[in-house]
Copies of this chain bind each other. A is one copy, B any other.
């Protein structure tokens, strides 16, 4: 069976504009909400046209020692020039967790496919 898993591309976001950058706190408090930003194109802007754009970013959290990632949110960027309106491929959101783990982002360009990134999160009592 051919796998999508092998088609999740990544790289250094400073050189590859598709990689979804993650801005997260270094550490957070157990059970207290915190805010995270994720975006595409921080260093090198990605096109934002009807023909070529970032359509969405999904975010997952994978607690250490757990077998499965849990979805935090799904963020669709809908306007790409309709009535001269443009949604930026940027989102900031809040969640809370109990355990340290990994924040994963997956994004989709309608021309260049699926991309991903991740960062570790320290959680204190």
Contacts and interface: CB of A to CB of B under 8 A. Distances in A.
Nearest to A104: B4
A33 B6 CA distance: 28
Total copies of this chain within the assembly: 4
Given A2-B118, A113-B67, A90 B94 contact: yes
Nearest to A51: B50
Contact of A7 (B31, B63, B68): B68
A63 B87 contact: no
A111 B6 CA distance: 23
B63 A113 contact: no
A108 B104 CA distance: 15
A85 B69 contact: no
